[in-house]
Structure 1
Amino acid sequence: MSFDIDQVTHTFIAESRELLEQMEGALLAVAQDGPEAVNAIFRAAHTIKGSAGMFGLDPVVAFTHVAESVLDKVRDGAIPIGDDLVALLLACRDHIGALVDAVEGGTLDGNAALADAGAPLVAALQGYLGSTAAPPADAAAADAAPADAAAADAQSAGGAGHWHISLRFGRDVLRNGMDPLSFIRYLGQLGTITGVATLADDLPDADSFDPESCYLGFEIGFVSSADKATIDAVFDFVRDDCAIRILPPESRVAEYLAWLDEAPAQRERLGQMLVRCGSITAHELEQALAAQQAAGAQAAPIGAILVDQRTVHAPVVEAALAKQRQAPEARPQQENRSVRVDADKLDRLINLVGELIIAGAGANLVARRTQIPELLECTSTLSGLVEEVRDSALQLRMVKIGATFNRFQRVVHDVARELGKDIRLDVSGEDAELDKTVVEKIGDPLTHLVRNAMDHGIEPADVRAARGKPAQGSVTLNAYHDSGSIVIEVSDDGGGLKRDRILAKAVERGLVEPGRQLSDKEIFNLIFEPGFSTAEQVTNLSGRGVGMDVVKRNIVALRGSVDVASTEGVGTTVTVRLPLTLAIINGFQVGVGKSVFVIPMEMVEECVEFHEQPGRDWVDLRGQPLPFVRLRERFGIAGAPARRRSVVVVRYGGRKAGLVVDTLLGEFQTVIKPLGKVFAGARFLSGSSILGNGDVALILDMAALLAGVESESQAAAA
């Protein structure tokens, strides 16, 4: 079966990016993980270089070879790895990423800008090597180099054995852009090729010969300490266009038998057991199962097929069968299966579910109006099913925030070096889930907050020592769920905000009237005003008053809120509160006159009857003062209020308040629609929704509505 070279190139690009992420994570953790992290970095670079060599991507091979040579000396202990080398290797990782991007864009060959960007990095790497590690002239030289570090490791390892590899390439392998010899040369990086026999028995006569077809096969003798899966992975890019048989050395048979003897007895299929012990690969098992299925009722057992195919030695199969018989009977467990779905298709599904909810609400309204029992029963069943579909669809879009948090390890490392400070990042709550759309949009605001904490919050080492703090500062990212929202905290153990300086700056700029009494929270939130800064000097990171206002604007655009708490000399915590989803919510509908408003159901605690008391903007709720907001006055709705009104008690971010409304309409599924451009600047509203009768309901922005409630609550308590 042939395949498209573009598809294989796409696989190379995707896998290279995954390896680069692993490389970055290992570089940032090298101080803690030591040799294990160094090995992970080396493996990532080595795999990228080998894969690039198969595709003839010489610039990628040449650059990565130099970095790999440095890493090889680090593994041997010849070069100590410190902060400077880690920073250099991170820059090399970024450059390899740029080369991979150029491969994707088709701009790799002859790219002078990339060559100029890589030259100083190569010079810096060679400074660690002296003049002994010039990059190879081309990809073939890199692949064939017998002194390659991996080959040397394989030859010197005590566990090396003689493998036998049988290759039969398909007719169209050359047409698909693959060079069979490149895969054989790449084997030299895993060990030593002791002999190659070329099989030409499929060559046709001269009249039938096609110069673009491959007729050759190879029998290869190979000495290596690599395992079977590693050797098999060499042929990943050509697997669909060749037949591969890998027969392990006799020494490995003893290892497989020892593994099977020591493994706990458990009920599993023979093929799975052989894959786990390493005697066969998953691809070999798939081929054997396909052969068994094709044979139908007369098919031999899978073990016999594997032995006949020279995939595994017979004693290994016999030992696996014996271990299988020892295992107790157990109920088979269903395998976890997953499938990748394009994000646009997922968004389309959510939009359709939203339209389904609106249509269902319309049908429910008609059923209540007509009072036909059968129709009421059908719409009730439909509403329940729609709610289940909604919850399942929304769950598909929920992702863990841990991936976003992990991005900041690199940010903290780079910014700390730029500032000359020793700062670590602590992360908790990585398993908290929220809508993928929120995750995508929260990255930039969090980056601003983390960089600001490092620049303004964490003091220099001498100041921290004078204050009795450890020399290493810390920035903490924490996430957790609360009242239908996700809360993200960005904390630092730095010097904290200077309350008096912020207030003086605000008075100087006319943001606060002189003599006005403000709470600490109100003063700290002044840092989100446009252009506000108390920095004594402007740096590359901050000090121009641009950033924190953008942070607040972006968070508010996500229907969220942001607050600051700080203690001078101890540290600062910025709390970001965001909705779990931007698509569909459970909403509590209330009426004021002819207008309908929606409150997120997770915030509603209870509803009580409202008794008007002139001149007082709070009610007594079981002995506690509860400030409230009259929605009719807040939105300027004309008409007289209803004779009997209610107070909806809501809680948001630790604050409790009441909303005075005319009528309570109950809980409904609410499809969130964005406000049009005309209403984009409207206060106290975060979106809209379409009701079953076609009318529009407005979704309340609770953060804005309750902004002044805290001070009112303190005055009421007094």
Structure 2
Amino acid sequence: MNDDDIHDALETFITEARELVQDFEDGLLELESGPAGPEAVNGLFRAMHTLKGSAGLFGLGHLVSFAHVLESVLDELRGGRLQVTPELVSALLPCTDHITALVDGVAGGRTEPTAAEADVSARLLAALEPFQSGAPDGTAPPAAPAPDGPRTWLLSLWFGPDCLRNGMDPLSFLRYLSTMGTVAWAVTVRDALPRADEADPETCYLGFEVEFLSTAAKADIESVFEFVRDDSTITILPADSAVELIAALPENDRLGDLLRRSGMVTDLELAKALQIQQEAIRAGEASGKPLGEILVQEHIVQQPVVEAALDRQRKTAEGRQQDNQTIRVFASRLDKLIDLVGELVIAQAGVGTADGLSETQENVLRLVEEVRHTALSLRMVPIGTTLRRFERVVRDVCLDLGKEVDLVITGGEAEMDKALVERIGDPLLHLVRNALDHGMETRAERERLGKPVRGRLRLNAFHDAGSIVIEVADDGRGLDRERILAKAVDRGLVGRNAALTDHEVYALIFEPGFSTADTVSNLSGRGVGMDVVRGAITALRGSIDVQTTPGAGTTIQIRLPLTLAIIDGFLVGTGDAYFIIPLDRVTECVELPADADGRSFMHLREEVLPFVRLRQAFGLPGQPSRRQSVVVVEHSGQRAGIVVDHLIGQSQTVIKPLGNLFEDVRSVSGSTILGTGDVALILDIDALMAQHIAGDKLRRAAAARHQNRSNLVSSMSGTDTSADRAASAGTGR
């Protein structure tokens, strides 16, 4: 293998290792929450065994040795010599974090642990020592009786096609086996061997069926194939376990091949059975007797073996019908595809919509639209994987706080852009930890309030109007409106006599440094976190909203676009400038009333609708058109209007990020290039409205101060004039 191949293989190992660790953590949490089924325990063992074997291929001895201890503990669990307990899970869970750190070190170019990592390994392995004997109290279980003599094993060895390229010699494994016992016989399977002129000398086409006699344990025999197990099919079974052997064979649609490969029938016996079947067909039977029935009747093989082969045959057929294979794609290649699709969309906009557009051009536009949707779908992944990671967070935080909370996850099948999934994890972590720390009561408090003693935290996701909505809902104590308002007044965030709506009060929790906690804990109380959450959500062109009921709980709702690449937009114009409003925010368009000059609101079907004028918001020169329009948009659960000169229509919008020079520009989330070559700015609706509301409040406050001064001056002027009149009346003038 050259350096590029090794680098690519290592990248694959790092990706798969992280997936295995996540699967391992999820499996541990499932074990703790319910009865430990054998398949769940086996899944944990396989994950750690695969990780150990893969690490060994790259000479990562520190990972191999650490994973080996975990594998040994899981083997005790798998053998029934150890029971699942909270103490065992608590000892294993930190190991997943440590393995992740070790894998990250490998990704950073370190093939040896640091001194700190070695210390952590020693501490974690010491915590596992009480469980390695198979009993929590440290007493060793009774030893299994040793076999009287050598045991016969059937080995089915199907080495991967890249075995030779990776420097592995299949025959060397057979030679090594002979040092552990006796190879009674070995048959070379050449089914996959092509013609000589078509064969690749570096590709392994051969498999081996081996009968092996040895006193060695199965685990010791398995360890021989440690470094090829990842890309090979290695089956090791006792000779009397033909049924298990058939179930472990590679997929095959033909019953005869399954039985022949398992060693249950020979080629001559199979030929004899097939001949009997053909004779039955010639004798007039529609399809002859089934092959399995003939094999049993001729005493060639037993009925359970045939049933096992038939079951394997059926599963193969079902698997092919439901085949849904996945492949890994480098993110850079996918991003390049999305960029190219974006250019196609821009080119499509330049075609125009003139009458008489040819059928060929219409088909091109339709295909571009399909390519766009297909390309974007490649980036869409279910959010459930991200949400399930919080099972560990909830468990650990509840142990730290002494609270009892059940996590309920719904809507995990909802899909969103992979880039968004990766960036939403940290904001959700802040919200979950805050809900558990601030929102949830202790068991004693819940009992006193007549609530269920176990709290309930729900993570929910669903699609809505072209966006994805993620909810973090708890059934805790809810937000204290008066306490939040009092703290905001003390910090000078709002005036003492300010009249704020509930929505405005609850939005104060996202202000930098804001906290109502009386004490500082490991989790919260320093006023850091919620402002970071809002900043992260805003950076993703999303919004966040709070709904709460005192004593019943709080729901924090995050609304995000499905993708960061291409959106459906509504194109508007003001003066010579063009703007894009995300289409999922637009509810309707109406004409601006003629009497709205000088006002920042209008009446729309008995509803007061505040609006912002884009010309004023961006300081655009020129006079507004005689007939202006209002685009009504949704903003944080409310409705508002945007006043523009022209409504141009729906437009597929390829999002282009603003350069570093414009990173501080508010109310704009990006830009796009129109089919005409003009640049249009994409409006950040929430930031635009927030800026407008803040400016409107300042204008109202200034107007109120001006009015107060005017009233004072008028009052003083009126008093002096009255005195003058009185004096004049007294003198007779």
Give the TM-score normalised by the residue count of structure 2. 0.72
Find out whether 1:391 has 2:378 as its counterpart. no
Classify 1:360/1:27 alpha carbon distance in 2 versus 1 (closer, same or farther; 3 Å): same
Deviation of 1:515 after TM superposition, in Å, equals: 0.6
The answer to whether the 8 Å contact 1:507/1:513 transfers is yes
Aligned partner of residue 652 in structure 2, secondary structure: strand
Once the two structures are overlaid, the 10-residue window that deviates more, 105-114 or 694-703, is 105-114
Q: Distance in 2 between matches of 1:397 and 1:682?
A: 29
Q: Distance in 2 between matches of 1:333 and 1:14?
A: 29
Pairing 1:273-672 to 2, within 5 Å after superposition: 335-364=323-352, 368=354, 373=356, 379-614=361-596, 617-672=600-655
Aligned partner of residue 253 in structure 2, secondary structure: helix
Deviation of 1:562 after TM superposition, in Å, equals: 0.9
Q: Distance in 1 between matches of 2:58 and 2:663?
A: 51
> What is aligned with 1:195?
182
Classify 1:457/1:275 alpha carbon distance in 2 versus 1 (closer, same or farther; 3 Å): farther
Q: Distance in 2 between matches of 1:31 and 1:270?
A: 34
Deviation of 1:347 after TM superposition, in Å, equals: 0.5
Across the aligned residues of Structure 1 and Structure 2, the Cα RMSD in angstroms comes to 5.1
The answer to whether the 8 Å contact 1:165/1:222 transfers is no
Q: Distance in 2 between matches of 1:119 and 1:245?
A: 34
Once the two structures are overlaid, the 10-residue window that deviates more, 685-694 or 170-179, is 170-179
Once the two structures are overlaid, the 10-residue window that deviates more, 554-563 or 661-670, is 661-670
Q: Distance in 2 between matches of 1:50 and 1:7?
A: 18
Once the two structures are overlaid, the 10-residue window that deviates more, 6-15 or 401-410, is 6-15
**Aligned to 1:681, which of 664, 669, 672?**
664
Q: Distance in 1 between matches of 2:51 and 2:251?
A: 34
Amino acid at match of 2:616: E
Aligned partner of residue 252 in structure 2, secondary structure: helix
Q: Distance in 2 between matches of 1:88 and 1:538?
A: 28
Q: Distance in 2 between matches of 1:32 and 1:651?
A: 41
Classify 1:380/1:665 alpha carbon distance in 2 versus 1 (closer, same or farther; 3 Å): farther
Classify 1:590/1:78 alpha carbon distance in 2 versus 1 (closer, same or farther; 3 Å): same
Amino acid at match of 1:19: L
The answer to whether the 8 Å contact 1:401/1:432 transfers is yes
Q: Distance in 2 between matches of 1:509 and 1:242?
A: 65
> What is aligned with 1:292?
none
> What is aligned with 1:120?
123
Classify 1:172/1:530 alpha carbon distance in 2 versus 1 (closer, same or farther; 3 Å): closer
Amino acid at match of 2:154: H
CA offsets, 1:14-70, max 9 Å, x none?
A: 544433222211211223332224443344334444565677655444433433444
Classify 1:620/1:377 alpha carbon distance in 2 versus 1 (closer, same or farther; 3 Å): farther
The answer to whether the 8 Å contact 2:474/2:553 transfers is yes
The answer to whether the 8 Å contact 2:53/2:229 transfers is no
The answer to whether the 8 Å contact 1:193/1:220 transfers is no
Q: Distance in 1 between matches of 2:484 and 2:665?
A: 29
Q: Distance in 1 between matches of 2:566 and 2:145?
A: 57
Once the two structures are overlaid, the 10-residue window that deviates more, 3-12 or 316-325, is 316-325
Q: Distance in 2 between matches of 1:394 and 1:223?
A: 56
Classify 1:186/1:684 alpha carbon distance in 2 versus 1 (closer, same or farther; 3 Å): farther
Unmatched 5+ residue regions in structure 1?
A: 134-146, 202-216, 261-268, 282-302, 305-312, 713-718
The answer to whether the 8 Å contact 2:254/2:313 transfers is no
Q: Distance in 1 between matches of 2:309 and 2:35?
A: 41
The answer to whether the 8 Å contact 1:35/1:75 transfers is no
Find out whether 1:40 has 2:40 as its counterpart. no
Once the two structures are overlaid, the 10-residue window that deviates more, 594-603 or 540-549, is 594-603
CA offsets, 1:387-428, max 9 Å, x none?
A: 222121111111111111111112222222222322232111
Q: Distance in 1 between matches of 2:7 and 2:45?
A: 27
Deviation of 1:678 after TM superposition, in Å, equals: 3.5
Once the two structures are overlaid, the 10-residue window that deviates more, 66-75 or 384-393, is 66-75
Aligned partner of residue 624 in structure 2, secondary structure: coil
Classify 1:174/1:567 alpha carbon distance in 2 versus 1 (closer, same or farther; 3 Å): same
Classify 1:687/1:464 alpha carbon distance in 2 versus 1 (closer, same or farther; 3 Å): same
Amino acid at match of 2:655: I
Deviation of 1:584 after TM superposition, in Å, equals: 1.0
The answer to whether the 8 Å contact 1:270/1:321 transfers is no
**Aligned to 1:164, which of 145, 154, 161?**
154
Unmatched 5+ residue regions in structure 2?
A: 189-207, 263-289, 292-299, 697-733
Aligned-pair identity (%): 52
> What is aligned with 1:221?
212
The answer to whether the 8 Å contact 1:55/1:178 transfers is no
Amino acid at match of 2:130: G
Classify 1:532/1:6 alpha carbon distance in 2 versus 1 (closer, same or farther; 3 Å): closer
Amino acid at match of 1:502: I
Q: Distance in 1 between matches of 2:590 and 2:576?
A: 21
Amino acid at match of 2:482: D
Classify 1:525/1:166 alpha carbon distance in 2 versus 1 (closer, same or farther; 3 Å): closer
Q: Distance in 2 between matches of 1:168 and 1:640?
A: 79
Aligned partner of residue 535 in structure 1, secondary structure: coil
Q: Distance in 2 between matches of 1:67 and 1:253?
A: 30
CA offsets, 1:496-524, max 9 Å, x none?
A: 22111111111111110111111111111
The answer to whether the 8 Å contact 1:608/1:646 transfers is yes
Deviation of 1:148 after TM superposition, in Å, equals: 13
CA offsets, 1:617-660, max 9 Å, x none?
A: 44444454444333333333333222222232333454333332
> What is aligned with 1:284?
none
The answer to whether the 8 Å contact 1:273/1:320 transfers is no
Q: Distance in 2 between matches of 1:154 and 1:624?
A: 85
Q: Distance in 2 between matches of 1:254 and 1:597?
A: 66
> What is aligned with 2:686?
703
> What is aligned with 2:273?
none
CA offsets, 1:470-511, max 9 Å, x none?
A: 332222111111121111111122222211111111111111
Q: Distance in 2 between matches of 1:572 and 1:86?
A: 31
The answer to whether the 8 Å contact 2:542/2:560 transfers is yes
> What is aligned with 2:89?
86
Q: Distance in 2 between matches of 1:473 and 1:356?
A: 51
Q: Distance in 2 between matches of 1:672 and 1:439?
A: 18
CA offsets, 1:427-474, max 9 Å, x none?
A: 111011111111111111111111111121112222222222233222
Aligned partner of residue 350 in structure 1, secondary structure: helix
Q: Distance in 1 between matches of 2:464 and 2:254?
A: 45
Amino acid at match of 1:470: P
Q: Distance in 2 between matches of 1:325 and 1:501?
A: 68
Amino acid at match of 2:391: Q
Aligned partner of residue 64 in structure 1, secondary structure: helix
Amino acid at match of 2:98: H
Classify 1:173/1:630 alpha carbon distance in 2 versus 1 (closer, same or farther; 3 Å): closer
Q: Distance in 2 between matches of 1:684 and 1:240?
A: 52
Q: Distance in 1 between matches of 2:174 and 2:636?
A: 63
The answer to whether the 8 Å contact 1:359/1:692 transfers is yes
Give the TM-score normalised by the residue count of structure 1. 0.74
